[in-house]
Amino acid sequence: MASINIKLYTICFLDAVTVGFILPILSYHIFALGGSHTTLGVLGSFYAAFQIISGPLIRTWRDTLGKKFALLCSLFINFITYLPLGITTSSAIIVLLRVVCALTNQTQTLCKAFVVESSPQEKHASVYNVMNALSVAGFVIGPIIGGQIYELENGFYYISMLASLMLAICLLICLTLPTTSISTSSDNQTTFLQKIKEDIEYSLSNLQSINMHQQWDVIMLRSLYHISITVFFIKFSMLLKLHYSASATIVGYTYGYQSILTFLSLFVVAFIKQKSSTDFFISSLFAVTLGFFGLCYASTYDNYLIIFIPTVITHTLINGNWKQLFKLRSTKEHNIEAAEETVAKIVGIITPIIFGIFCDLYGHYALKAFVILPLIFDIFVTLVFNSNVAKMVIEKEKVTEKKED
């Protein structure tokens, strides 16, 4: 059992490193090939869309072939998409290859599914924690290495070859894993297209469950926040290049720095007591707005790194409060928690391409506007949102008191 887990740990780590290789330098390379912000936006939108389809595809492979062969298929397709990545001189082909990767790259999910059969139930949590920690380590190490290699002549070619080598190692390790059982449940008879249809119907039913007349504010609040965060984290390298003339190496180190701080912020937030989730949420929103404003206009790179620390902590605080706030506004008839996931997916698909078009037209002004303006408007929405939440709290407290009496 222990040897199987070590193999799964290795696969998770190497897979995260290969993804990390590409993160800091993909935009550099696409621009070098004549691509534009719109090209990157199309890539971002298609990547998000195909990741949604990826779930049903991987479930189909897992149910019909078993977890081992599903993992082999996923790793093999990723392997053959990385090979031509460093050879092609067409930005369109790079977009196509990355979209195929988005469709099939579920390595982390499949490794975790493997744990169900490879480890006793009482050890599942500890194994998952190790996998998560190794994945974070991969997202820290990968960008640092990728940024440095890209500075070499034909650096992107070397990165794609190194990523292919790591995936080849993952394939060899996967071949040594034991064959897992194939599910005999009714879901095993469901085809790929049927699974997609079921997922779409489920998402649409979630949207239909929203009472927009009463819940528009919370949906608007979450959508605007998601737009701001999405744009910042996919395009912050543009700020680094604009303000500090940052090289690919610096961008790579920054990716690693932000990845490890994002991970550590989860532990910091666990020690912060929240007396009132709604009031604390609004205070955090003000703080994170100031933080992202500071990141967009930091005078030096050192200032940028310092400002990121409180910003990512407040961002994590807000994420931790979403579920509480959605529960407060949800009813049996209108489940906002489930609907919010669907809204976030839609925003994640639409935002990159729209932002890419505006960025080609207005440059860095579009970046700062897409990051800051949604947060400022969020602050305005919270005034209505807070009032409605207060009313809901009072009503729920009255209902609770009556039940207790």
405 pLDDT tier (thresholds 50, 70, 90): low
Q: Is residue 204 in a domain? A: no
Reply yes or no on whether the pLDDT at 337 is more than 50.
yes
Q: Is residue 295 in a domain? A: yes
Reply yes or no on whether the pLDDT at 333 is more than 50.
yes
Asked if residue 218 and residue 156 are part of one domain, the reply reads: no
At which of 143, 164, 193 does a domain end?
193
Asked if residue 296 and residue 371 are part of one domain, the reply reads: yes
At which of 148, 165, 193 does a domain end?
193
What is the Cα–Cα distance from 272 to 281, expressed in whole angstroms?
13
What's residue 147's pLDDT?
93
Q: Is residue 201 in a domain? A: no
Asked if residue 214 and residue 164 are part of one domain, the reply reads: no
Asked if residue 364 and residue 259 are part of one domain, the reply reads: yes
Asked if residue 167 and residue 75 are part of one domain, the reply reads: yes
307 pLDDT tier (thresholds 50, 70, 90): very high
* Domain around 123: 2-177+188-193
- Using left for φ > 0, alpha for ψ between -120 and 50, and beta otherwise, residue 154 falls in left
The residue with greater pLDDT, 179 or 263, is 263
- Could you tell me which residues come within 8 angstroms of residue 364 by beta carbon, excluding any fewer than 6 positions away? 238, 239, 242
Asked if residue 227 and residue 161 are part of one domain, the reply reads: no
What is the Cα–Cα distance from 256 to 144, expressed in whole angstroms?
6
The residue with greater pLDDT, 134 or 202, is 134
Identify the weakest region by mean pLDDT among 32-46, 127-141, 276-290.
276-290
Q: Is residue 344 in a domain? A: yes
The residue with greater pLDDT, 51 or 327, is 51
Q: Is residue 202 in a domain? A: no
The residue with greater pLDDT, 91 or 269, is 91
The residue with greater pLDDT, 299 or 394, is 299
What's residue 398's pLDDT?
47
Is the sign of the CA dihedral 194, 200, 202, 204 positive or negative? negative
335 pLDDT tier (thresholds 50, 70, 90): low
Q: Is residue 58 in a domain? A: yes
Q: Is residue 85 in a domain? A: yes
What's residue 267's pLDDT?
86
Evaluate whether 54 touches 106 at the Cβ level (below 8 Å): yes
Q: What is the DSSP string of 51-64?
A: HHHHHHHHHHHHHH
Q: Residue 90 is inside which H or E element, if any?
A: none
Q: What is the DSSP string of 169-192?
A: HHHHHHHTSPPPPPP-SGGGG--H
pLDDT in tens, 198-207: 766 666 666 6
Question: Burial letters for 2-38: b for 16+ Cβ neighbours within 10 Å, e otherwise?
Answer: eebbebbbebbbbbbbbbbbbbbbbbbbbeebebebb
Q: What is the DSSP string of 357-386?
A: HHHHHHTHHHHHHHHHHHHHHHHHHHHHHH
C-alpha count within 13 angstroms, C-beta hemisphere, residue 345: 16
400 pLDDT tier (thresholds 50, 70, 90): very low
380 pLDDT tier (thresholds 50, 70, 90): confident
Q: Residue 137 is inside which H or E element, if any?
A: helix 124-150
Asked if residue 337 and residue 290 are part of one domain, the reply reads: yes
Nearest to 326 by CA among 405, 234, 217, 247: 217
pLDDT in tens, 18-75: 999 998 899 889 999 999 999 999 999 999 888 888 888 888 887 777 888 889 999 9
Reply yes or no on whether the pLDDT at 17 is more than 90.
yes
Asked if residue 75 and residue 135 are part of one domain, the reply reads: yes
Asked if residue 248 and residue 331 are part of one domain, the reply reads: yes
What's residue 138's pLDDT?
93
Nearest to 14 by CA among 178, 135, 159: 135
Reply yes or no on whether the pLDDT at 311 is more than 80.
yes
Q: How many domains are there within the chain?
A: 2
Asked if residue 387 and residue 273 are part of one domain, the reply reads: yes
Identify the weakest region by mean pLDDT among 53-57, 262-266, 365-369.
53-57
Is the sign of the CA dihedral 145, 113, 270, 323 positive or negative? positive
Mean pLDDT of 230-259: 92
What tokens does 222 get? 């979450």
402 pLDDT tier (thresholds 50, 70, 90): low
Identify the CATH number of the domain in which residue 276 sits.
1.20.1250.20
Asked if residue 281 and residue 230 are part of one domain, the reply reads: yes
Asked if residue 172 and residue 83 are part of one domain, the reply reads: yes
Reply yes or no on whether the pLDDT at 393 is more than 50.
no
397 pLDDT tier (thresholds 50, 70, 90): very low
What's residue 390's pLDDT?
45
pLDDT in tens, 191-239: 656 767 776 666 666 666 666 666 677 778 888 999 999 999 989 999 9
Q: Is residue 203 in a domain? A: no
DSSP three-state, residue 219: helix
What is the Cα–Cα distance from 242 to 252, expressed in whole angstroms?
16
Q: Residue 360 is inside which H or E element, if any?
A: helix 336-362
What is the Cα–Cα distance from 189 to 182, expressed in whole angstroms?
12
Mean pLDDT of 72-101: 92
